[in-house]
Every structure is written in structure tokens, then in C-alpha cells.
Structure 1
Amino acid sequence: MEQEIYMQRESAAPVPASGGRHRKPKQTRVASRRARAAVVATPMAVAMFSGTSAFAADKGTTARPVNSVADKSAGSGSDGRMAANLNTRMNDPRLGPHLSGVVLDANSDRVVWGHDASTALMPASNTKLLTATAALSVLGPDHRFTTKVTYRDGTLTLVGGGDRLLTTADLTRLAQTSAAKLKSQGVGFVKVRVDDSLFPEPTQAKGWRGDYYPGEVAPVRALVVDGRSVLDTSVDAGKTFAKQLAAAGVVVNGDVTRGRAGASDVSVAQHRSPKLSESVRKMLKLSDNNIAETLLRMTALGTGRPATFEGGTAAVRQVLRDYGVPLTNVKLYDGSGLSRSDRIPAATLAAVLDLTQDHPQTLQPVLDGLPVSGEAGSTLGPEWGRFDDPHSTCAVGKVRAKTGTLSGAISLSGVTQGKDGRLKVFAFVENDASAAPAATKDALDGLAATVNGCWA
């Protein structure tokens, strides 16, 4: 669901374990550690790598000017070879003229390689990494959303609570419980309305195209069933509830309307969602835009801000700032990355992913939700042609990464175990490639395989 409309969607060494790792706590302050990732393009205590790209030479094109760096401690070992290979392979013409990239050693936070890492580019769905991190940090991975049914003066109100995993089966149970209570009080006829006032009237984010509705994303409301992306998800859910209510023996009069539950309403039934961690995992595996935008609003509410794009993005920035993540040049207008005005450097994306190693109790669902290279049913699955290039097939099952695709922007950020056996965090964002999106994705998959070291 991450791709812009009209776009084509997307066991050797094991993939990094989702259970986190055991290591001694770092003594360096988080803010100073994260700040280092923001300046990886500064030639300070670094070794320069240069040379003409083999890809460019083969195709007779001009190589991208090299301003990449690698930590001197990488030396001539596996990290040094990996950095040198990245400096060559980033010149692949399939990657276009603008590439921001960085590789960190997750244990030490040492910058192994970087190229324009602090240059902010359009990140596409890699934005969801920021949204997930903020939601988990503010609400907690065990947080659940509540959908309620209330009754007053012959009217049942279905009250939305921001549960994006609400199903028809859940509404059926709510309807059956409601029907039983109504019948016990001798009530056999009701009207049904929906209350989605938890969120204000939907608007579009800056940078959203007018044709995003409802295929790429639905107007953001607090009530939805079965993840259906329609123009009015609340009334749609209300109709499903009314149908199940009728099936339970209660006559529903008239059409489903919209209104607010009052303080004098009597609570009839409620449903609690699965844990937030499950919503985060699904959002990342499938790159679900609707879950992302809902979580952005729930995060805003969790910080006392309005449930708007502005309130949500302000909450995200505050959470990341508190963690010490570099936000220089970051521009954020939504939670899904559909906005063509969003700008995030690779350094920021890598720093956000590195937080999963420092705060596993809170952020483990981010790591768990990253698609695995070659994982069917995810955005890195074979159905989207990922990791099937001759240079990247060696990395199938070895990389966890979040994808991102808009016209003119493709990104890939994740983790993998390097040739030296140490966990590497990487982020690659490219903009303005003239190659077909599938070809650009193959090139990015190759960079991830390079970080892994299987493409040596």
C-alpha cells in the first residue's frame, strides 16, 4: 500500500534475530551518539574511497561525483571492503542523480560508510519508521484501542477509538452483546449512528495528490472495519454493525447517521483491539498507509496534541528529539510517507532504526515488522520482484528492511548481519532515477546485499 497510484507495486547466514541482542549498555549519551550519524559526510577522521563505477564504465555514463566516507577503523577488513564496494556500486546509473546513504555498526554506532547521509530526500514509506517509533514510545507496545457501543433514547452509537484492526467478526460480537442487553430491557427497535469525533474532519496532507483517495489512502477517520479503504470508513463500519445487529434480532430503523455519544449515554458493549505492537508490525510488513495515518493521530492525542497531521508530526519530532535523533533538514507532513513534500536524510532513518537496538522493550515491534528479504506476503516478497537480481539473491533471508516507493523516490532502510558477524544498520534513499522502478529497486537490493557482504 506504500506506492503512489499508477505505480507498479512492489539459508546461509540467518536474518538478524527479532528477539533483540544482549550487550552491555553504552556509556555515551544518546544525543551525542545519534548526532554522529548526521555528519557522516564530513571528512573528519575518515578515509576517502574513489574510482570510476564499473556500472558507469560499462554503460558509458558519467559516474556520480564521489563524496562518500568510511571510518578509518574499517581498515582493509570486511567493513573496508564493503565500504569500497558501496562507493563503486552507488554509481549504478539505475540509482539516478540523488542518493543519500549510510551504514552504521549497530554495536558501536560507528559510521562504516556514508554518502550525502545528511542530505534530505523524499523518503516515501520509510517515513513509517518514524511514525512507528513515535507511536510505540508514546503509547507503549501493549496499548489497545477501544471501540464502544452506547445507548440513549432509542439510538445505538458505535464509537470509534482508532482501531485499524477492527474486523466484521469484532462488530458481530459487539452487535450480539448489544442485542442481548437491549432485549433484556424490552427494546426491539433502534436507530444506529456512528461517532468518529475522536479525529477532526478529514483533510489532505501537504504534498498529497488529489487522486490518492481512496485507493492509496482513505480519508483518516477513527472508525473502520476490515481495513476497507473507502471514502467514509465510519459509515461503512456502521452499516456493517447495523447488519449484524439485525441478524441478532434487533430491528434497525432508517439509515446509519453520524452523531456524538453524550455523557448520559449508557455503555452497552466494547471491544479492545490487539496490542499496538501488532498494528505496527502489520503497518510495516504491508506498508499500510491507513494504519500509519491513524497511528499518527493517536500519537498526537497521546501527547495532548490535536489529532491532525500537524499535531501528529509535531509529536513525532518531539519523540525523536528526546531520543537524540538528528532532525536537521527533516520535513514531515504525514505519517505514511505519501507526501511528496516529506524530506528525511538517510542519517535520520539509520538513527531511528538503531534505536531498536538500544530500546528493545519499547521498539522491538519495529524490528519485528521489517519485511525480510524474499518474504512472501511482505513488500520485500518475490511477488514484488525483490532480491531476485543475480547480485542480491544471495541476501534472501538475510536482510530486514522497510521499503519505500513513490514516483521519483525509492528507499530501503534496515538491518543485516555483516561479513564480520556484527549487526549493520543501513539506509538508502534515492530520488529522480530515470530507470524503471523495478530496476532501481534491484540496484538498492544490491546495496543491501553489499552491506551483508554476500555480494563481496
Structure 2
Amino acid sequence: MNRTVRRTLVAAVLTPVAGAVMAGQSATAADRSAASQESVDRFDSGDQKLVDNLNARSQDKNIGSTFSGVVMDAESNEVIWGHDAQRALMPASNTKLATATAALTLLGPDHRFTTKVVYGDGTLTLVGGGDRTLTTADVTELAGSAADGLRHAGLDTVKVRVDDSLFAEPTLAEGWNSSYYDDQIAPVRSLVVDGKLVQDTAVDAGEVFAAQLAEQGIGVTGDVTRGQAAPTDFPVAEKQSAELSVIVEQMLKTSDNDIAETLLRATGIASGREATYEGGTAAVRDILTDRYGISVSNFEIHDGSGLSRSNRITARTVAEILDLTTDPRHSGLLKSVSDGLPVAGEAGSTLGPEWGRFDTANSECAVGQVKGKTGTLTGATALSGLTQGKDGRWKIFSFIENGSGAEGGAIKDSLDGLAATVNGCWA
């Protein structure tokens, strides 16, 4: 498909969703010149005003000097504005955009994760299939089916075992520290109930399953153990997750670290690699380059969630990943990436008012007008997304700062202001 035809199709399919929302420092003349070199050669008056505003506002002391930013026209793919757009910085949870793209590409948006119960030699085994969204209600349903089967076979007692062998033994990713297990993420296993942040999510799930069996009148002997189900074990029950597209939306709306790491391992498996950080991240790199032609020369990730402080991605790469959602060749496959981006002012998302986003005099005009993926680590803040400018053209933006000494809320306010500038409501 040639470029002109593709852009014509893009213009035809881009429609407003949810109202108007689509489904560094330049203090010196030299800095301004460098920024302009990353932009298109000629601007209309609206683009030039946007460039001037971004040049000025990206000098905000809250953003600091270690900053990578870019704004692209979604129809032409031209860079309207950039500041160190090819500088690789710590992207925090913007990493999840790459993870989601690879998972959807390899597994497909209709993919479902399956949790199973099998029986053999007096033991029921709960087999994890990588469903990070499994709930107590789901486990209760599995226990009910298993209890019915046992009673039909004339059995009223059983041992319980868990099989979480689908994923490799949990380890810390490069750039993680053990304190993450306190409140950021659980050790990554293929079996978990209710998204609990506990050290052994698989055994915990087995204990929930055993308790539900007892509620169904089935006696459970001994403690819950871990072990692989035998090939000869008889299938008793299974529970499928929601479609992957739904899970991706949930992950992006709330920036769920546990779902992201589960998807990374599932992606590794789907690519024929091991269910490890290394297998998953290698698959992500291959998908970006081989399938979509995105350069990964300044791209380094060690996890799927963005918790790793060793991750490095450029604003240009993040913007190119988001641009895939506007391409008719890929927009169907990757629709849940766009749909999962939080909307400015959307309660329950990471851009909601409960997080103090888009609530300043300069940015509140963009409520309902901007979709963006947040990213926050100590020393790193990012905001990347899409918005329709006042000129009616869709724009893709990515802003990543590292090392600002400002208070976290002030940094976020400044990035929200940049997004409002791209939208044009802060003129």
C-alpha cells in the first residue's frame, strides 16, 4: 500500500470517540534551532504557534533538562515538533504500550487464558494458564464442577495440588529491587486469584480452591502442594478468561503491572521462547522490528510493566508504537491499545481526578479531549497519547522526563499542560 493511499484511508477512519477524544529545554537560540530541525520544514500558522508554545513550555523548570519529546501528525507521520526525540530515557509504564502491542499481535485480540482442574490418583490439580484476572467467583465455579464430578464418582475426599509450571520460576527482573514485592507487583506466576500481591500466588489460589471444595462438601486432606499435573490426569473443569482485548484495556486504564508481566510471558511462549523476561522482551523487539518496521536501536527493555529502572525507550519510538493504532492495516488488531488509553479526567483511570490530572488552569480545558498512557517511577515521568488538534488533525505525542527535582505532582501538571498544548485548548 503506497503512502498516499494509506494516508487517505487513515483520514477516512479517524473519527472522534468519547467527545473529542480519539478510540526539552529550548531556552537558547541553538536549542530552538535543534528543535526545529526535528520538525517539518514548513508549517501553517497553527503548527507554527504549536511549535512556539511547545518550545517555550518545555522549558518549564518542573520538567528539567533530561527530556525527550515529540509530536507527530497522525495522517502524514511528519514530526511537527521534537526535542531530543531520539534520546533513550527511562519510560516507566509507557513500556506497557510495547508489551500490549506484541501480545495482541502474537496471541490475537480474541485469545483467552484457560485455568483447568484435572484429577488423578486421589488429587485434584488446579492448573494455571496465565489468567491474571481470575477471581474467587471463578474458582468457586471450578470447585463446584469438580465437586459434582467427585460425587458422581463416589468420592468425598481429595488432595489438592497447584501446577504453575507454565511460567518459569519467579525472579526479579534486571532493574527491579525486592521492595517492589511489597506493593508494586507479586512474583510472576501463571496462577493467581483476585490479583493478590502475595509471595506465592499459586499456593494461595490452591488454598482458595480447597476452601471452596470444603464449602461444596468435599473433604481436603493435607496441605496444598505444588507439582505438575500428569498427562494421564482426567480433565474435570476449566474456566476461560475474558478476551485478551478486554484484558489489555484493563491493563492500560489502570496501569496494572501484574497483568503486564503475565502478558510478557505469554508473548514469550507464543513466539516459541521461554516464559521469562528474556523470552518475552526478545519477542517484543522482534514484533516491533519485523512486523511493524519500528527501529529498536535506542530501545532496551527488561520487563513488560516498566518497573525496571534499566529500561530505555525514546519518545519517538513510543509515538511510533501509538501511531500503529491509527494505521488501517493494524488498527483492528490493536484497537484495544487505543481504547485502553485513559482519557483525561476519566475517573478510575490513571488520568482521573483522583490522581490530580488535568486539573490546573492550563490543562483542565483538555479534559475529555486527550487520551494518554501515564508512566511514573522515582525520577521518571511520562505521558504519551493522542488528541485532535484545533486544526482538526489527529496528533500523536510522547513526553518523557528523567531526573527532575520537582515534586511529582508538579511534573505531571507540566506534562498535562504540554498535552493540552498539543490539543490546542491551551493556545
TM-score w.r.t. length of structure 1: 0.87
Correspondence for 1:349: 318
Give the distance between the partners of 1:394 and 1:167, measured in 2 at CA.
39
Residues 1:15 and 2:24 are matched in the alignment: no
Quote the Cα distance in structure 1 between the aligned partners of 2:257 and 2:77: 30
Which residue, out of 255, 259, 262, partners 2:230?
Answer: 262
Q: For 2:303 and 2:161, locate their aligned partners in 1 and report how far apart those are by CA, in whole Å.
A: 29
Answer yes or no: is 1:410 the counterpart of 2:377: no
Distance of 2:131 and 2:31 partners within structure 1: 46
SS at match of 1:267: strand
Q: Which amino acid aligns with 2:167?
A: F
- 8 Å contact kept, 2:64–2:401: yes
Q: Do structure 1's residue 423 and structure 2's residue 391 form an aligned pair?
A: no
How many Å apart are 1:331 and its aligned residue? 0.9
Match for residue 115 of structure 1 among 72, 83, 91: 83
- Tell me the alpha carbon deviations over residues 297-346 of structure 1, each in whole angstroms, 9 at most, x when there is no partner: 00000000000000000000000002011212111100000000000000
Q: Distance in 1 between matches of 2:378 and 2:302?
A: 18
Instruction: Report the residue type matching 1:338 in the other structure.
Output: L
Question: What residue in structure 2 maps to residue 182 of structure 1?
Answer: 150
Distance 1:111 1:51, change over 3 A: same
Cα distance in structure 2, aligned partners of 1:187 and 1:102: 65
1:87 corresponds to which letter in structure 2? N
Within the candidate set 339, 355, 359, 1:368 is matched to 339
The answer for the alignment partner of 2:5 in structure 1 is none
**Could you tell me which amino acid in structure 2 is paired with residue 438 of structure 1?**
G
In the TM superposition, residue 76 of structure 1 has moved relative to its aligned partner by 3.8
Say yes or no: does 1:240 pair with 2:212.
no
Residues in 1 aligned to 2:310 and 2:270: alpha-carbon distance in whole angstroms? 25
3-state secondary structure, aligned to 1:67: helix
Q: How does 1:70-219 map to 2 (within 5 A)?
A: 71-72=39-40, 74-219=42-187
1:13 and 1:219 map into 2 onto residues whose CA distance is 37
Q: How far is the alpha carbon of 1:78 from its aligned partner? A: 1.4
C-alpha distance 326-66 of structure 1, shift in aligned 2 (>3 A): same
**Structure-2 residue corresponding to 1:67:** 34
C-alpha change, 1:307 and 1:216, in structure 2 (3 Å) is: same
- Aligned to 2:287, which of 297, 306, 319? 319
Q: What is aligned with 1:30? A: none
Distance 1:64 1:232, change over 3 A: farther
- Work out the CA distance in 2 between the residues paired with 1:447 and 1:281: 24
Q: Deviations over 1:144-164 (max 9, x none)?
A: 000000000110000000001
Q: For 1:194, what is the secondary structure of its paired residue?
A: strand
State the 1:71 CA deviation.
3.4
Deviation at 1:12, TM superposition (A): 13
CA distance in 1, matches of 2:198, 2:105: 30
2:414 to 435, 443, 448: 443
Which residue matches 1:335? 304
2:387 equivalent to 1:382:
no
The AA in structure 1 aligned to 2:35 is S
Which residue matches 2:9?
A: none
Aligned to 2:391, the other structure's residue is in SS state coil
Q: Residue 183 of structure 2: SS of its match in structure 1?
A: coil
Aligned equivalents of 1:75, 1:259: Cα separation in 2: 64
Q: Which residue of 2 aligns with 1:277?
A: 245
Q: Is 1:391 the equivalent of 2:396?
A: no
3-state SS of paired residue (1:114): strand
Residue aligned with 1:264, SS: coil
Q: Which amino acid aligns with 1:441?
A: K
Q: Tell me, in whole angstroms, the C-alpha distance in 1 between the residues paired with 2:187 and 2:262.
A: 10
Q: Distance in 2 between matches of 1:12 and 1:212?
A: 36
For the residues of structure 2 that align with 1:417 and 1:50, how far apart are their CA atoms?
Answer: 25
CA distance in 1 between partners of 2:342 and 2:407 (Å): 22
By how many angstroms is 1:17 displaced?
3.6
SS of 2:62 mapped into structure 1: helix
> RMSD across aligned C-alpha pairs, in angstroms?
1.9
Give, in whole Å, the separation in 2 of the partners of 1:439 and 1:449. Answer: 15
Report Cα offsets for 1:188-214 as digits up to 9, x if no partner.
100001000001110000000221014
- Report the equivalent of 1:5: none
Report if the CA contact (8 A) 1:74-1:112 is conserved: no
Cα deviation digits, residues 76-129 of structure 1 (max 9, x gap): 421221111101111000001211000111111111111100000000000000
Relative to structure 1, the CA distance from residue 403 to residue 440 in structure 2 (aligned partners, 3 Å threshold; closer, same or farther) is: same
Q: Tell me what 1:21 maps to.
A: none
Match of 1:31 in 2: none
Does residue 301 (structure 1) correspond to residue 272 (structure 2)? The answer is: no
Residues 15 and 372 in structure 1, CA contact (< 8 A), matched pair in contact too:
no
The residue type paired with residue 180 of structure 1 is D
Q: Is the 8 A contact 1:64 1:97 kept in 2?
A: no
How far apart in 2 are the matches of 1:51 and 1:253?
71
In structure 2, the gaps of 5 or more residues are 1-15
Normalised TM-score (structure 2):
0.93
Cα displacement (A) at 1:50: 6.2
Give the Cα–Cα distance (whole angstroms) in 2 for the partners of residues 12 and 87 of structure 1: 29
Secondary structure of the corresponding residue to residue 213 of structure 1: helix
Cα distance in structure 1, aligned partners of 2:28 and 2:17:
32
The code of the aligned residue for 1:404 comes to G
* One-letter amino acid matched to 1:133: T
Residues 229/325 of structure 1: CA separation in 2 closer, same or farther (3 Å cut): same
CA separation in 2, counterparts of 1:277 and 1:400? 18
Identity, in percent, stands at 61
Runs of 4+ in 1 over 2 A off after TM superposition: 11-17, 49-53, 63-67, 69-74
In the aligned structure 2, how far is the partner of 1:13 from the partner of 1:196? 40
